[in-house]
C-alpha cells in the first residue's frame, strides 16, 4: 500500500505561517505518513518533525531530508518545493494512485494558482523529456519521489561533494530520473498561493546575471556529473571545419526582419557603419513585412550597394528559415554575423573583431557579449551579459543545461550550410549552437559588442504562460535530440 512521507520548508514569512493549518491538515491525512518541516525559528503551528535544515535546496539539507525519509516506513516522499501549496486528501490520493500505477521515480502535476482575491487559474506544466536537464525545469510546487528513486542518494550526494549550497535539489532530481520514469500528471492536483514573479521577458536573463555566478558554477558541476553518469559527456571537439571555397565577400551581417519599421533602420545603419580591411555586406531577409519595413529597406538599399534586401518567395518561414535563405544566398560571405532587427552593434569594429577571432582559433562559431539596455541605449540590469560560464573544456557539455549561448552569434558559413537552422522563430539559434558544439570549437569574445534593446515590441516581452510552456518544451526537445545523438556517439 502506498504511504507518503512529506517534507517541506516552512519559514517565518507571514504567508508561510498562514498556511500552517493546511500543512497540519495534510499531516492528519490517513494516507500521509510522517511530516517533516525544515523550519526557521519563526515557523509555528505544525505538528511535525523539525529537521536541521533551512531551505531543502543545499546538498546538506537534501541529505538530511533523505536520511529522515529513510528512517520512516513510507513508500514515497512528497517533496514540497515551496510551502505555499494546499493539497487536499483527494489530491494526495490521486498522486498515490498514479505513482502506484506508473511506478514513477518522480511524479509531478499541474495545479491551480490562487490569487489574493481567491480566484483560481489553471497552471499547466510541460512534460519531462530526456533532455530536460536544465536546472530551472518547472515541476510546480511539489514532486512525489519513490523510495527506490532516492535510496542511498543521501550518502551519494554527500560523498561526491559535487553539489553545495545551491544544487542539492538539482543533484537529487537528476539522480532520481536515472532510476525510473518521470511522469507528469496533466491535471490540477493541488492549489498554490501565487507570488509576484518577474515578467517573462526579464526573467529570461536571470541565468546570466553576473550576480548568480557562484550558482551557475555549481549547477554546471552537477549537470556535468549527470552527463558523465549517463554516458553523454563529450571530450572537447576536434572536427576540422568544412572547406571554405570561394565567397564574394569575407563577412555578411544577417538581419531577419518582419514588421520592424521603427527599429530596422538603426540596425542596418550600425551594420553598414562597420570598419574593416575586408569586404562585407548586409543581408536583410524581409519576411513579408506589412508595416512599412519593406519600403524603408528598399530606400536604404538604393543608397548603398552593400545592403542586400531579400524578400523570400516562401511565406512560411520562421526566423530560422530566414537565416537559411541568407546563408545560402549567392551574395553571402564566408562568415555570417547575427544582428537582430531590434538591436545595434555597440561599435564600428565588431565585424573586424569577430573575423579576427575566427581566423585565430579555427572556430565554426564565435559568440560575443551584449549589454541589455532600454530603447534609448541606457543600460538596465543585469547589464553586460558575457556568458563567462563558457569554457573550452566543458562549454559544449554545459550548453545542454543553459538557455542560450549569447549574442552576437557568428558562423563559419561552409560549416553552417551542412547543418542549417530549424524553421522556427524561437530556439533556432540554440538548436544550431548545440549541434555545432558537438563537433566543432566555439570561440568567445567577452567584451560587449552589441546593444540588446528591451522594449514593448520585443518578441519575448510579457509572454503568456501557454507560449512560455511551448517554448520551454521545444528547447527541451532540442536538448533531447542532441542528448540522444551524443549518447549514440559515445556508444558507437
282-326 residue pLDDT tens: 999 999 999 999 999 999 999 999 999 999 999 999 999 999 999
Cα 473 from Cα 128, distance rounded (Å):
8
Nearest Cα residue to 386 out of 404, 370, 402, 408: 370
pLDDT in tens, 384-434: 999 888 999 999 999 999 999 999 999 999 999 999 999 999 999 999 999
In whole angstroms, give the CA distance from residue 450 to residue 453.
Answer: 9
Q: Which of 394, 478, 388, 464 is nearest to 429 (CA)?
A: 478
Per-residue model confidence as pLDDT tens digits over 53-91: 777 899 999 999 999 999 999 999 999 888 778 888 899
Are 114 and 202 a contacting pair, CB within 8 Å?
Answer: no
pLDDT, one tens digit per residue, over 3-62 is 888 888 765 554 454 455 566 666 667 666 677 777 544 444 556 677 877 778 999 999
Calculate the alpha carbon distances from 188 to 76, 113, 465 in Å: 20, 10, 15
pLDDT tens for residues 106-150? 999 999 999 989 899 999 999 999 999 999 999 999 999 999 999
Overall residue count recorded for the chain in this entry: 492
* CATH number belonging to the domain at 4-196, selected among 3.40.50.2000, 3.90.550.10, 3.40.50.970, 2.60.40.10: 3.90.550.10
Average pLDDT for the chain: 91
Domain assignments of the chain as residue spans, ordered by start? 4-196, 251-491
Closest CA to 91 of 108, 116, 106: 108
> 258 pLDDT exceeds 90?
yes
**Torsion sign over Cα 215, 379, 293, 282:** negative
Pick 455 or 12 by higher pLDDT.
Answer: 455
Supply the pLDDT for residue 24: 62
What pLDDT score does 17 carry? 44
Place of cell 563577412: 251
Reported as a single tens digit per residue, the pLDDT across 276-289 is 999 999 999 999 99
Full DSSP string of 127-151: ---TT---TT---TTEEEEEHHHHT
For the segment 161-171, what is each residue's pLDDT rounded down to a tens digit? 999 999 999 99
Q: How far apart are CA 294 and CA 257, in angstroms?
A: 10
DSSP 296: H
Q: What is the DSSP letter of 235?
A: P
Residue that has been written with the C-alpha cell 540522444 in this structure: 484
pLDDT at 50: 74
Report percent pLDDT > 70 for the chain: 89
Alpha carbon of 62 to those of 32, 59, 163, 182, 487: distances in Å? 20, 5, 10, 19, 29
Is the bond into 408 cis (omega within 30 degrees of 0)? yes
- State how far the Cα of 474 lies from the Cα of 331, in Å rounded to an integer: 32
**Which CATH class, in words, describes the domain spanning 251-491?**
alpha beta
The pLDDT assigned to 1 comes to 74
Domains 4-196 and 251-491 share a fold: yes
Give the pLDDT band (50/70/90) at residue 479: very high
Any idea what the Cα angle at residue 248 is, between residues 437 and 261, rounded to 5°?
75
- pLDDT for 152 equals 98
pLDDT, residue 34, reads 75
- Confidence category of residue 201, pLDDT binned at 50, 70, 90: very low
C-alpha separations of 257 from 341, 392, 411, 412 in Å? 6, 33, 19, 22
What is the C-alpha separation between 258 and 275, in angstroms, rounded?
27
- pLDDT band of residue 454 (cuts 50, 70, 90) is confident
Peptide bond into 382 cis (omega under 30): yes
Amino acid at each position: 500500500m502506498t504511504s507518503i512521507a512529506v517534507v517541506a520548508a516552512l519559514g517565518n514569512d507571514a504567508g508561510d505561517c498562514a498556511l500552517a493549518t493546511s500543512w497540519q491538515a495534510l499531516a492528519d491525512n490517513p494516507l500521509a505518513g510522517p511530516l517533516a518541516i525544515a523550519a526557521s525559528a519563526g515557523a509555528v503551528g505544525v505538528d511535525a518533525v523539525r529537521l536541521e535544515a533551512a531551505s531543502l535546496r543545499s546538498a546538506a539539507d537534501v541529505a538530511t531530508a533523505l536520511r529522515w525519509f529513510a528512517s520512516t516506513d513510507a513508500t514515497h516522499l512528497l517533496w514540497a518545493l515551496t510551502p505555499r501549496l494546499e493539497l487536499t486528501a483527494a489530491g494526495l490520493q490521486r498522486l498515490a494512485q498514479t505513482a502506484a500505477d506508473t511506478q514513477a521515480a518522480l511524479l509531478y502535476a499541474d495545479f491551480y494558482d490562487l490569487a489574493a482575491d481567491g480566484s483560481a487559474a489553471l497552471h499547466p506544466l510541460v512534460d519531462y523529456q530526456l533532455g530536460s536537464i536544465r536546472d530551472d525545469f518547472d515541476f510546480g510546487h511539489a514532486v512525489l519521489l519513490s523510495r527506490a528513486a532516492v535510496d542511498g542518494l543521501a550518502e551519494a550526494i554527500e560523498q561526491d561533494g559535487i553539489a553545495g549550497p545551491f544544487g542539492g535539489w538539482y543533484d537529487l532530481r537528476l539522480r532520481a530520473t536515472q532510476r525510473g520514469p518521470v511522469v507528469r500528471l496533466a491535471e490540477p492536483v493541488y492549489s498554490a498561493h501565487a507570488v509576484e514573479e518577474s515578467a517573462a521577458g526579464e526573467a529570461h536573463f536571470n541565468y546570466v546575471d553576473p550576480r548568480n555566478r557562484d550558482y551557475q558554477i555549481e549547477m554546471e558541476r552537477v549537470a556535468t556529473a549527470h552527463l558523465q553518469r549517463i554516458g553523454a559527456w563529450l571530450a572537447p571537439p576536434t572536427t576540422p571545419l568544412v572547406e571554405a571555397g570561394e565567397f564574394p565577400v569575407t563577412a555578411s551581417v544577417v538581419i531577419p526582419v518582419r514588421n520592424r519599421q521603427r527599429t530596422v533602420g538603426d540596425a542596418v545603419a550600425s551594420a553598414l557603419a562597420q570598419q574593416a580591411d575586408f569586404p562585407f555586406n548586409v543581408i536583410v531577409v524581409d519576411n513579408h513585412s506589412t508595416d512599412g519595413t519593406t519600403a524603408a529597406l528598399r530606400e536604404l538599399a538604393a543608397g548603398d550597394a552593400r545592403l542586400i534586401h531579400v524578400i523570400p518567395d516562401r511565406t512560411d518561414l520562421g526566423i530560422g528559415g530566414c537565416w537559411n535563405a541568407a546563408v545560402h544566398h549567392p551574395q553571402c560571405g564566408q562568415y555570417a554575423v547575427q544582428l537582430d532587427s531590434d538591436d545595434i552593434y555597440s561599435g564600428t569594429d565588431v565585424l573586424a573583431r569577430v573575423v579576427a577571432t575566427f581566423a585565430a582559433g579555427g572556430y565554426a562559431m564565435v559568440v560575443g557579449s551584449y549589454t541589455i539596455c532600454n530603447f534609448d541605449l541606457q543600460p538596465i540590469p543585469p547589464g553586460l551579459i558575457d556568458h563567462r560560464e563558457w569554457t573550452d573544456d566543458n562549454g559544449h557539455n554545459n550548453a545542454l543545461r543553459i538557455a542560450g549561448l549569447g549574442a552576437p552569434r557568428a558562423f563559419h558559413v561552409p560549416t553552417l550550410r551542412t547543418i542549417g537552422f530549424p524553421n522556427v522563430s524561437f530556439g533556432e539559434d540554440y538548436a544550431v549552437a548545440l549541434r555545432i558544439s558537438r563537433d566543432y570549437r566555439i570561440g568567445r569574445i567577452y567584451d560587449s559588442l552589441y546593444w540588446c534593446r528591451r522594449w514593448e515590441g520585443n518578441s519575448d516581452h510579457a509572454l503568456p504562460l501557454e507560449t512560455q510552456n511551448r517554448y520551454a518544451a521545444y528547447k527541451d526537445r532540442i536538448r533531447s535530440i542532441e542528448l540522444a545523438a551524443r549518447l549514440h556517439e559515445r556508444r558507437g
